[in-house]
Amino acid sequence: MKKLNVKNNEAAIYGVGGLGEIGKNTYGIQFQDEIILIDAGIKFPEDDLLGVDYVIPDYQYLVDNKDKIKALVITHGHEDHIGGVPYLMKVLNVPIYAGPLAMALIKNKLEEHGLLNSVELHEISDKSVLKFRKMKVSFFRTTHSIPDTVGIAVHTPVGVIVETGDYKFDLTPVTNQPPDLQEMARLGAEGVLCLMSDSTNAEKPIWTHSEKWVGNSIAHIFDQIQDRIIFATFASNISRIKTACDNAMAHGRKIAVFGRSMDAAIVNGRELGYLDIPDDAFVDAHDLQSLPANKTLILCTGSQGEPMAALSRIANGTHRQIAIQPGDTVIFSSNPIPGNTTSVNSVINKLEEAGANVIHGRVNNIHTSGHGGQEEQKLMLRLMKPKFFMPIHGEYRMLKIHTELAEQCGVPMDHSFIMQNGDVLALSRDHARMAGHFQAGDVYIDGSGIGDIGSIVLRDRQLLSEEGIVVVVATVNLTNQEIQSGPDILSRGFVYMRESGELLDEGRRLVFKTIRKAMRAKKATESSIRNAIIDDLQEFLYDKTERHPMILPMLIMNGNQK
């Protein structure tokens, strides 16, 4: 079991995920034999992680210390904070504490994974207090782009450690859940030992616009449009969904919902009271054709250009129930997250080509971030007045800028700590120090496989995507040193076989000679023949094409082998 280099009179804080990156937020606060986990998120893969669905943290340290974990507490219901919950619960079953919306989303995930009946779940509010033998957990309401968002205060014997979760200071939220400035100030007045704070927008010297400001822009757009509206946003952005639906109802438009996650968001939002939409405001897909264009709102997923989402299929003309009509207006009420810009632009182009008018981008004031800019980050620092500071939820440059903001707000630079996943910060009442490191790498989720995709598999996928594959097939009798059939060469993604006969014929002759030579070696084996084929053919093909396809020899071995 991995032990931390932490003294008995010190608390430890660390990121299992979420440091130096956007996503996979999973943080631990530990005092002696008690651990409080905060969030369990996923990260969406970068372009080079071919075929990978999600990235989660390596949970090994947590598994090694599972008897110490008292609770998993959740700040809010976004995927980068709850997407890893079912995977974490598969390796350690601990009680989960979450607000109403986050809990509804977590239950959906656990049910999909067959875990719902085996996990202990507790719904909390911003007024809840959790008491354990040595630590206590309290909450304070914050604002983000999803309801029921809380910050978390962990009260340890050496001081209070605050983790803000994702936040901005939206003083006019459409969900009527304003940030609890009084509770933040009270925590600061009583003394915060260390603040762990969201760094996403640390590069932006702004105060992030309120959701109400976006609502005014959307209301103005609805006033101007006389034809059908297709509205795409994140299914988790209940505030934006509420704004779109409220405007649709105000203009006498019926609402048609497309996308499984959007359906679930509507159901959860209505059940929890965040969406006040009567049944008769909705219309089924097959009734759309009978409605006038100016009486229709289509609410759908796909604002990030996801290929299987409703909007992408509409743009491609492959959706079974919706086709773009001249005069349609498509509203993208989100900004592309990093890595999605190309796919979003592709969808926009296809929609425009099909005859739609597309409204997107900052110039139209139809999106605002859920994360506070520098001014809000400074306000959080002033309210909390921490002795020590640890920026979280951000890439390195964001964390670095956040420490500079902290210094401007009275936190000495040597009291701020830019950490990597697995780094451990030990805190006493008056001192903070780095206290070692544990393994906290990435684990890849591909379909139902967890962690069975490593660097070698990813390298092979990269090679296949860039250079293609060449398959060599031959039947060999090693005892008699005979080639009984072949060799034949097949190409996929490397060269077009019908137009490359001369190259492939020359390659076959080379492989024939290579196999005969390899069989005559004193300790010839199937493996040694395969390696000889790969070496010789790879050199030959690079010399002819300056490309390195994957070489896959498939040998059928007859006779008694050596």
* 431 is a catalytic site residue: no
Return the exposure string of 439-456: e unless at least 16 CB atoms fall within 10 Å of the residue's CB, then b: ebebbbbbeeeeeebeee
Angle at 60 between CA 54 and CA 65, to 5 degrees: 135
- Segment 484-489 long-range contacts (CB within 8 Å, at least 24 positions apart): 484/558, 487/511, 487/512, 487/515
What is the C-alpha to C-alpha distance for residues 526 and 438, in angstroms, rounded to an integer?
42
Q: What is the dihedral of CA 142, 144, 147, 150, to 10 degrees?
A: -30
**Nearest residue to 381 (alpha-carbon basis) of 200, 164, 172:** 164
- Cα separation, 138 vs 73, whole angstroms: 10
Kindly give, in sequence order, each residue whose CB lies less than 8 Å from that of residue 431, ignoring residues fewer than 6 positions away: none
- Helix, strand or coil, per DSSP, at residue 294: helix
Residue numbers belonging to the annotated binding site for substrate: 235-237, 367-371
CA dihedral 389, 394, 396, 398 (to 10 degrees): -80
| C-beta neighbour count of 209 within 10 angstroms | 16
Task: Enumerate residues 6+ apart whose C-beta is below 8 A from 55.
Answer: 23, 24, 42, 43, 44, 45, 49, 442, 443, 444, 445
Could you give the CA distance from residue 119 to residue 173 in angstroms, rounded to a whole number?
A: 33
Report the candidate in 200, 230, 367, 197 with the shortest Cα–Cα distance to residue 296: 230
Q: Which of 198, 246, 328, 423 is catalytic?
A: 198
Task: Tell me if residue 357 falls in helix, strand or coil.
Answer: strand
Tell how strand 34-38 and strand 26-31 pair up: antiparallel
With beta carbons less than 8 A apart as the criterion, state whether 58 and 439 touch.
Answer: yes
Residue of 155, 371, 402, 415 with catalytic role: 371
Q: Extract the annotated binding site.
A: 51, 53, 76, 78, 80-81, 144, 166, 235-237, 367-371, 393, 446
Strands 34-38 and 329-332: unpaired
Q: Which residues are annotated as a binding site for Ca(2+)?
A: 51, 53, 446
C-alpha to C-alpha distance for 219 and 211, rounded to whole angstroms? 12
Asked whether 390 and 14 are in contact (CB, 8 A), the reply is: no
Give yes or no: 437 in active site: no
Q: Which position has the token pair 């369990």?
A: 40
Do the beta carbons of residue 278 and residue 266 sit within 8 Å?
A: no
Contact 162, 153 (CB under 8 A): yes
Q: What are phi and psi of 159, to 5 degrees?
A: 150, 175
What's the burial of 263, exposed, middle or buried (CB within 10 Å: 0-12/13-18/19+)? middle
Point out the residues that are catalytic. Answer: 198, 371
